Amino acid sequence: MKRQILIIKLGALGDVIRTTPLLRILDGEVTWVTSMVALPLLRGNPLITSLLPADVPGFHLQRTYDLVVNLEDDKSSAELASTAATGAIVGPYLNGDGVTYDARGGEWFDMSLSSRYGRIKADLLKLGNRKTYQEMIFSGLGMSFEGEDPVLSLPLRTTPISGLIGIEERAGGVWPTKRWNRYGELAARLRDLGYQTRVFKQRDSVIEYADDIHECEFVICGDTLAMHIALALQKRVVALFTCTSPHEIYGYGRLAKVVSPLLEQYFYRRAYSPEPGDAISTADVLDGFHSLVGQPLGLACANGGMEIDAAH
């Protein structure tokens, strides 16, 4: 009988996508517990045996699992991990009335909301971290991350257009400081260079949004869902980092990271501030773009990307 494996990863959507490389190395039948909003990103995935949304009435698991990988911080997910496991648990689980985790998940969860060190030290550890999310999650399972790609099986209908650059100006409400105020100027400069540009708009579904991204050859955005979808769809991406870690993102050799010189000062601040974005010039982002199209203006990074120094 095949080993039964449970993954608990509900959101955010970008985090769901960057968790899918695990599917390439897990030996067994995988059940994935997720959220309704993330369901379209995982539905039809050939490496998932069973897909269950946790946020529907009557949700419950009908079996137990040999291995549970819980990548959420909340108490209800920890309780689910505890009741579902007959074997190992990687990630948070219940210990009495509290949430805890073992050394196997420590590298990632020491920097999380459930950190044993508390929020302030967790954020400092995150600032100092130089490993990618995938490296830490794979390590928690006793495996080495070797650049395994995300696994998406989306019903896309568009065909990529050569030279089309998709621009995502928006950022979510959790991290409003990810917004950058020079996308309009950047688009004009790119058009002067002979490129077509498209600004992404709100869509009724994440699949329609992914279709818009799929139609582009390049994507320029912040550290947002657009970046994760574009990397998973094999696009070349320029991503701006203003308040979150560029080191956690594995770039697969197709990502240019433009990092604000004020990143450390504004690291993990949730209140909006334009300063770290304003410290990135249009020229910085164009340098990142040119590094993707063959001009050696970027610096190779160990985490699969090109880092552009915006501190000038």
- Percent with pLDDT over 90 in the chain: 87
pLDDT of residue 6: 98
| Cα-based distances in Å from 205 to 138, 155, 209, 231 | 30, 12, 7, 19
Of 105, 140, 175, which residue sits at a domain end? 140
pLDDT of residue 305: 56
Pairing label, strands 85-90, 29-34? unpaired
Which CATH number does the domain housing residue 170 bear?
A: 3.40.50.2000
Residue 155 lies in a domain: no
- Work out the pLDDT band at 258, boundaries 50, 70, 90: very high
Residue 274 and residue 277: Cα distance in Å, rounded? 6
Residue 277 and residue 87: Cα distance in Å, rounded? 46
Q: Is the pLDDT of residue 298 over 90?
A: no
How many domains does one find in the chain? 2
pLDDT of residue 310: 65
Residue 294 and residue 231: Cα distance in Å, rounded? 18
Q: Is the pLDDT of residue 297 over 60?
A: no
Residue 145 lies in a domain: no
- Percent with pLDDT over 70 in the chain: 94
Residue 142 and residue 188: Cα distance in Å, rounded? 48
Q: Is the pLDDT of residue 250 over 90?
A: yes
> Six-digit token pair at 33?
């517990």
Residue 15 lies in a domain: yes
* Range of lowest pLDDT (55-69, 109-123, 152-166, 250-264): 109-123
Residue 159 lies in a domain: no
* Range of lowest pLDDT (29-38, 56-65, 105-114, 287-296): 287-296
> Six-digit token pair at 261?
């010189």
Of 92, 108, 140, which residue sits at a domain end? 140
Q: Is the pLDDT of residue 155 over 70?
A: yes
Q: Which residue has the tokens 């080993």?
A: 3
pLDDT digits (tens, 9 = 90+) for 260-291: 999 999 999 989 999 999 999 999 999 999 99
pLDDT of residue 119: 87
Residues 55 and 191 in one domain: no
pLDDT of residue 231: 98
Q: Is the pLDDT of residue 129 over 70?
A: yes
Mean pLDDT of 27-39: 97
Residues 183 and 68 in one domain: no
pLDDT of residue 296: 41
Residue 40 and residue 273: Cα distance in Å, rounded? 33
Q: Which residue has the higher pLDDT, 300 or 250?
A: 250
Residue 106 and residue 16: Cα distance in Å, rounded? 19
* Range of lowest pLDDT (18-27, 41-50, 107-116): 107-116
| Cα-based distances in Å from 144 to 48, 102, 138, 140, 289 | 21, 19, 6, 9, 30
pLDDT digits (tens, 9 = 90+) for 68-93: 999 999 999 999 999 999 999 999 99
- Work out the pLDDT band at 103, boundaries 50, 70, 90: confident
Which residues have CB under 8 Å from 276's CB, separation 6+?
177, 242, 243, 260, 262, 263, 265, 266
Residues 278 and 185 in one domain: yes
Domain membership of residue 197 as a residue range:
164-309
pLDDT of residue 67: 97
Burial of residue 216, with CB atoms counted within 10 A of its CB: 0-12 exposed, 13-18 middle, 19 or more buried: buried
Residues 97 and 198 in one domain: no
Residue 148 lies in a domain: no
Residue 66 lies in a domain: yes
How many CB atoms within 10 Å of residue 176? 16
pLDDT digits (tens, 9 = 90+) for 182-227: 999 999 999 999 999 999 999 999 999 999 999 999 999 999 999 9
Residue 157 lies in a domain: no
Give me the residues paired with residue 236 across strands. 218
Residue 152 and residue 119: Cα distance in Å, rounded? 33
Which CATH number does the domain housing residue 133 bear?
A: 3.40.50
How many CB atoms within 10 Å of residue 94? 18
Q: Is the pLDDT of residue 94 over 60?
A: yes
